[in-house]
C-alpha cells in the first residue's frame, strides 16, 4: 500500500471509529494501529481538534448518509490493500481525516492550520464587522439596455426566438421550434452576477452554465444554424450540449475555447494575472492568441496562461473537481498564496484586501472552507495558522465595500 493510500485508509478508520461503524476486519486494523503509543497520541489529537466528535454527531443528526458514503467510497477507492503495516505520514492523514469531516458535516479545515503550532490570533474586535456570505443573485440586461433583477423575481416570458423562464435561481431559455432561426429575431442578452452572487443559466441549446461572483456572460437568445458563441468575463463552469454540427466557443479577453460537447471550468477575471481552463469531461481546444499555437486539453488537465508571459499556456494534471468546488458551495485552495486566496474570497464576501507587508501575501495555504459561513471564521483560521492578525474596515463612502487589512502579529 502506498503512503497516500495508507493515509486515506487511516482517515477512514478514524472517522468510522467515532461513528461506531467499523467492520470486524476494520476494527482489528484499528486496534492494531491504536496499540502503538504514537498512534494513540495522534488519534486523541485529531479527535480533540476543531470539536471533531461534535461534528460527527452533527452529521448523524442531519442524517447525511449519502454524503458520508460518498466520502468513504472515495477513501476506499484510494486503497489497494489493508494487510500491510499501517505506518503513515501524520500530517497528511490528519489532513485527509479532517477533510472527510468537512465534507460530511458543515465544517472547515485548512492543512496549514491543522499543522500549525501558533497561538490564537489577536483580533481587534472594535473594527471587526461581520461580513455575510453571498447568495444566488444576478441581473439580466436585455439587448435594448433594459435591466431585470432576477433575485426573487420568478417569471415566464418570450423574447425574440426563445421562451425565457426564471425560477428556482435558474434562468432557462428554450428555443421556439417555429421554422428556421433568423438573425433578425435573435437578441444578445448579458447575465451579470455581482460581487457576493452566483447564478446558473440554461442556454437555448441546452448548455448549462454556472457563473461565479463578479462574472458576466453575453449570449444570444437562440443560436444560429452554423455557430454557438458566448462571451465570458470572470469565472464560469460549462456543461456544453453536444452538437457535432455546431462547435461551441467561449470567448474571453485572454483566450477563446472551442468545444463540441464537454464539461469544463474557465477562470478569466480581468483583475487576475492569469487565465485558466480546467477540463472535467470531453475535449476542449484553446484557440491561439496572435502567434501562439492552439492547445488541446484532455480530462484532468488544466491550461494556465500568465498575462505577464506573452500568453504561453502551461498544461498540468489536476483534480478538476477542485476547480469547480465553488458551484457546490465550497472554497478549495491547493498551495495558493494568501493574496490569491483573499482576492477570490473577497469576491464572495465583498471586500478588498490590503497587506501591511507584501511578504504576507505570498504565504501558501491548502484547504477547504464552506461558503456559507461568515468571513470572520475563515479569517480567524488564516490568522491563527499564518501568525498574522487582521482588521475589517467598512468603506464609509460607499457603505457597501469592506477593506480587510492583513498585519504581521507583534511578538
Q: Cell triple for residue 411?
A: 511578538
**Could you tell me the pLDDT band of residue 3, with boundaries at 50, 70 and 90?**
very low
Grid coordinates belonging to 212: 461565479
pLDDT (tens digit per residue) in 14-64: 767 766 677 888 888 888 888 787 877 777 766 554 444 444 444 444 444
Residue pLDDT, tens place only, 264-289: 999 999 999 899 999 999 999 998 76
CATH fold, domain 329-408, is Phage tail protein beta-alpha-beta fold (3.55.50)
Q: Is the pLDDT score of 1 beyond 80?
A: no
- The predicted structure's pLDDT at residue 257: 95
Nearest to 274 by CA among 293, 301, 255: 255
Residue 51 is inside which H or E element, if any? none
Q: What is the pLDDT of residue 73?
A: 53
- All residues at 6 or more sequence positions from 56 whose CB lies less than 8 Å from its CB, including other chains: 15, 18, 19, 101, 105
Q: ∠ CA 180-182-185 to the nearest 5 degrees?
A: 125
Q: Residue 389, CB half-sphere, CA atoms under 13 Å: how many?
A: 14
The Cα 338–Cα 359 span in angstroms is 10
| Least-confidence region, from 28-37, 59-68, 110-119, 226-235 | 110-119
Q: How many C-beta atoms lie closer than 10 Å to residue 141's C-beta?
A: 16
C-alpha cell at 315: 498544461
pLDDT at residue 178 in the model: 59
Q: For residues 116 and 162, is the Cβ–Cβ distance under 8 A?
A: no
Separation of CA 340 from chain center: 13
Q: Residue 173: what pLDDT? A: 94
| Burial label, 44 (beta-carbon count in 10 A; 0-12, 13-18, 19+) | exposed
Answer yes or no: is pLDDT of 198 > 90.
yes
Q: Cα 178 vs. chain centroid, distance in angstroms?
A: 40
SS3 state of residue 8: helix
Sheet holding 109-110, edge to edge: 109-110, 364-370, 330-337
Which pairing describes strands 402-408 and 351-355: parallel, antiparallel, or unpaired?
parallel
Q: Which residues contact 77 (CB under 8 A, 6 or more apart)?
A: none
Whether residue 380 contacts residue 122, with contact meaning beta carbons closer than 8 Å, is answered with no
So what's the pLDDT on residue 134? 82
Which of 75-79, 116-120, 139-143 is predicted least confidently?
A: 116-120
DSSP for 346-402, please give it: HHHHTEEEEESSGGGGG-EEEEEEETTS-HHHHHHHHHHHHTEEEEEEE-TTTSS-E
Q: What share of the chain is helix, strand, coil (3-state, %, to 5)?
A: 30, 30, 35
For 282-303, what is the mean pLDDT? 85
Q: How far is CA 26 from CA 21, 60, 66, 79, in A?
A: 9, 20, 21, 13
Please measure the distance between the N-terminal and C-terminal CA atoms of the chain and give it in whole angstroms: 44
Q: Nearest to residue 284, comparing CAs of 270, 268, 303, 269?
A: 303
* All three cell numbers of 280: 472535467
Q: Which three cell numbers stand for residue 19?
A: 461513528
Is residue 212 within 8 A of residue 234, CB to CB? The reply is: yes
CA angle at residue 77 from 74 to 82, to 5 degrees? 120
How far is it, in rounded angstroms, from Cα 198 to Cα 211?
A: 6
CATH no. of 139-325: 2.60.120.1440
Residue 15: which residues within 8 A CB-CB, separation 6 or more? 56, 71, 72, 97, 100, 101, 104
DSSP assigned state of 332: E
What integer pLDDT is reported at residue 47 of this predicted model? 58
Distance CA(398)–CA(25), nearest Å, equals 62
Domain boundaries, the chain: 3-52, 139-325, 329-408
User: Which residues, 6 or more positions from 48, have their beta carbon under 8 angstroms from its beta carbon?
Assistant: none
Amino acid at each position: 500500500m502506498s503512503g497516500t493510500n495508507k493515509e486515506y485508509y487511516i482517515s477512514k478508520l478514524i472517522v468510522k471509529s467515532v461513528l461506531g461503524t467499523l467492520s470486524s476486519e476494520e476494527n482489528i486494523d484499528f486496534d492494531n494501529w491504536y496499540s502503538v503509543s504514537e498512534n494513540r497520541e495522534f488519534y486523541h489529537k485529531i479527535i480533540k481538534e476543531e470539536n471533531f466528535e461534535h461534528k460527527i454527531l452533527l452529521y448523524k443528526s442531519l442524517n447525511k448518509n449519502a454524503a458520508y458514503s460518498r466520502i468513504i467510497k472515495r477513501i476506499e477507492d484510494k486503497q489497494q490493500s489493508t494487510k500491510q503495516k499501517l505506518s503513515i505520514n501524520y500530517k497528511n492523514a490528519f489532513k485527509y481525516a479532517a477533510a472527510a469531516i468537512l465534507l460530511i458535516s458543515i465544517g472547515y479545515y485548512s492543512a496549514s492550520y491543522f499543522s500549525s503550532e501558533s497561538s490564537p490570533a489577536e483580533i481587534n474586535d472594535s473594527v471587526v464587522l461581520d461580513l455575510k456570505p453571498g447568495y444566488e443573485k444576478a441581473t439580466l440586461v436585455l439587448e435594448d439596455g433594459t435591466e431585470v433583477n432576477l433575485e426573487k423575481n420568478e417569471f415566464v416570458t418570450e423574447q425574440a426566438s426563445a421562451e425565457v423562464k426564471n425560477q428556482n435561481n435558474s434562468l432557462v431559455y428554450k428555443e421556439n421550434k417555429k421554422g428556421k432561426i433568423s438573425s433578425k429575431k435573435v437578441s444578445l442578452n448579458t447575465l451579470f452576477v455581482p460581487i457576493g452572487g452566483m447564478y446558473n443559466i440554461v442556454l437555448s441549446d441546452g448548455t448549462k452554465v454556472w457563473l461565479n461572483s463578479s462574472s458576466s456572460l453575453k449570449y444570444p437568445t437562440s443560436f444560429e444554424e452554423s455557430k454557438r458563441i458566448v462571451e465570458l468575463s470572470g469565472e464560469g463552469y460549462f456543461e456544453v450540449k453536444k452538437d457535432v454540427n455546431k462547435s461551441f466557443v467561449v470567448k474571453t479577453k485572454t483566450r477563446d475555447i472551442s468545444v463540441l460537447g464537454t464539461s469544463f471550468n474557465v477562470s478569466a477575471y480581468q483583475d487576475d494575472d492569469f487565465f485558466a481552463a480546467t477540463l472535467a469531461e470531453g475535449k476542449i481546444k484553446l484557440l491561439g492568441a496572435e502567434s501562439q499555437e492552439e492547445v488541446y486539453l484532455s480530462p484532468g488537465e488544466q491550461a494556465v496562461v500568465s498575462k505577464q508571459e506573452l500568453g504561453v499556456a502551461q498544461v498540468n494534471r489536476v483534480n478538476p473537481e477542485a476547480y469547480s468546488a465553488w458551484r457546490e458551495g465550497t472554497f478549495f485552495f491547493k498551495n495558493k498564496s494568501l493574496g490569491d486566496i483573499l482576492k477570490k474570497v473577497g469576491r464572495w464576501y465583498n471586500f478588498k484586501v490590503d497587506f501591511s507587508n507584501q511578504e504576507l501575501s505570498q504565504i501558501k495555504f491548502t484547504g477547504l472552507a464552506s461558503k456559507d459561513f461568515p468571513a470572520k471564521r475563515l479569517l480567524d483560521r488564516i490568522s491563527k495558522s499564518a501568525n498574522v492578525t487582521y482588521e475589517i474596515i467598512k468603506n464609509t463612502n460607499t457603505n457597501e465595500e469592506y477593506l480587510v487589512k492583513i498585519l504581521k502579529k507583534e511578538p
